[in-house]
Amino acid sequence: MNRPSDIGLVGLAVMGQNLVLNMASRGFQVSVFNRTPEVTDAFVAAHPGQHLAGFHALDDFVRSLARPRKVMLMVKAGAAVDAVIGQLVPLLEAGDIVIDGGNSLYTDTERRDAQLAALGLRFVGAGVSGGEEGARKGPAIMPGGPDSTWDELRPIFEAIAARVDGAPCVRHIGPGGAGHYVKMIHNGIEYGDMQLICEAYSLLKAAGLSTDEMAAVFDRWNEGELQSYLIQITGRALAQKDPQTGLPVVDLILDKAGQKGTGQWTLVNAAEQAVVVSTINAAVEARVLSSQKALRVAASTQLQGPLPAIGGDRAALVAQVHDALYASKIVSYAQGLTLMRSMSDRQGWALDLGGIASIWRGGCIIRARFLNRITEACSADPGLQNLMLAPFFREVLNRSQASWRAVVALAVTQGVPVPAFSASLAYYDSLRTARLPANLLQAQRDFFGAHTYERIDRPAGEWFHTVWPEVI
């Protein structure tokens, strides 16, 4: 008989298997269960000598766990999570902990948290980022749930998480759905980062750079301020050749992007709170438009515009695109942080934004050098209203803005779509415009709906109405 297991994991698809192997390799004894028992058997058989115990019956699986029991679910988000929770609940006892490590919608997590709390059980919605390799070697983990669960889970999560400068990429995010919420924002930001990189690629391509030349540009960028996993894999992806044709693989890939929903969830949440996330919005919409391939092909012969052909000094263009990418990325993170802060205030989650940025430095898809700077900015000024106003980022934006404008202007003139670059620049310009044309907007509202307006020459809070001429 094995010693009681430190943790049990339900759901042996790729992410589940890799997390289990990660835990076992750190010396934890892990019980595993999968709905289809053959999967459990094959997995255990494929990894002899590891700290693994496979079970066909859920009650045996639960009995094998040390108390308080910790059961981590890595099943498909949605109904499967509720189904497995329903089967587990009668087998658990007060104080036991159920962890959902899938990509669940945070509102589902809030509901499950309340449901299990009413039964005396503890529920942890934990965002896990890093894909297959991250799960095996060290993901970033964003656990929510009751404070008391953190003491129990901390030794395991800290042992399996990625590490940056010796610090594990995991921390307790906050109560209820806070962990899954922060994972959702991570994914929204990831959408923005990816689209911005694609726009940079699109411009360099229009300037006539070959894929190999572009690969070299991204490799070089990865040595500097833009250093990040996504820039790194972009360089590698561009350099990859198709074995059959010898052509760059990217040139053979159909330009229709998929999405699983976390980007859209981010937009819905932002809309609910009236927070601007225009870069992420542009990124999600770019995927939507990309998926309408047949319509685009038809429109390409009917709607006119220039045929992109960017001439001039290539090295200068590469430098300008670098600046546009960096500045836009800063805007995107500023928006994402603003959204998290707003939600934190609304929910009373007390999210530590600097701490969140610090755990995103490793393991996850958006891992990047510049996240250190966000952590520094947040700790230097905990009341920081917008990341763009932190001294470090303000300086980058101020020195990049001329190139950024040149790039967006060039793209517009050449007919190269750059929705995320231009949305980011528009946000930047709106934020730095002390007097926006909303005075006229207020006039319009007062004109047709007597909505009233405040005046610049009177104290705030005093409302005025003009008797406008009648329009028939």
Q: By CB under 6 A, name the binding residues for ligand 2AM.
A: 11-13, 34-36, 39, 75-76, 80, 83-84
Nearer to ligand 2AM, 76 or 445 (CB): 76
Residues in the chain, overall count: 472
How far apart, in whole angstroms, are the C-alpha atoms of residue 213 and residue 83? Answer: 51
Nearer to ligand 2AM, 84 or 99 (CB): 84
Smallest distance, ligand 2AM to C-beta of residue 14, A: 8
Closest Cα partner for 361 from 163, 154, 134, 181?
Answer: 163
Smallest distance, ligand 2AM to C-beta of residue 82, A: 9
Nearer to ligand 2AM, 59 or 251 (CB): 59
Nearer to ligand 2AM, 103 or 279 (CB): 103
Nearer to ligand 2AM, 101 or 174 (CB): 101
Q: Annotated catalytic residue: which of 70, 152, 183, 199?
A: 183
Smallest distance, ligand 2AM to C-beta of residue 45, A: 16
Smallest distance, ligand 2AM to C-beta of residue 144, A: 21
> Is 329 labeled as catalytic in the residue annotation?
no
Q: Annotated catalytic residue: which of 70, 190, 199, 329?
A: 190
Q: Are 329 and 198 in contact (CB under 8 A)?
A: no
Nearer to ligand 2AM, 9 or 142 (CB): 9
Smallest distance, ligand 2AM to C-beta of residue 62, A: 15
> Is 205 labeled as catalytic in the residue annotation?
no
Smallest distance, ligand 2AM to C-beta of residue 77, A: 9
Smallest distance, ligand 2AM to C-beta of residue 188, A: 23
Nearer to ligand 2AM, 36 or 301 (CB): 36
How far apart, in whole angstroms, are the C-alpha atoms of residue 123 and residue 104? Answer: 13
Tokens for 325? 């990418």
Mind spelling out the 3-state secondary structure of the chain?
CCCCECEEEECCCHHHHHHHHHHHHCCCCEEEECCCHHHHHHHHHHCCCCCEEEECCHHHHHHCECCCCEEEECCCCCHHHHHHHHHHHHHCCCCCEEEECCCCCHHHHHHHHHHHHCCCCEEEEEEEECHHHHHHHCCEEEEECCHHHHHHHHHHHHHHCCEECCEECECCCECCCHHHHHHHHHHHHHHHHHHHHHHHHHHHHHCCCCHHHHHHHHHHHCCCCCCEHHHHHHHHHHHCECCCCCCEHHHHCCCCCCCCCHHHHHHHHHHHHCCCCHHHHHHHHHHHHHHCHHHHHHHCCCCCCCCCCCCCCHHHHHHHHHHHHHHHHHHHHHHHHHHHHHHHHHHCCCCCHHHHHHHCCCCCCCCECCHHHHHHHHHHCCCCCCHHHCHHHHHHHHHHHHHHHHHHHHHHHHCCCCHHHHHHHHHHHHHCCCCCCHHHHHHHHHHHHCCCECCCCCCCCCCECCCCCCCC
Smallest distance, ligand 2AM to C-beta of residue 33, A: 9
Nearer to ligand 2AM, 78 or 306 (CB): 78
Which active-site residues does the annotation give? 183, 190
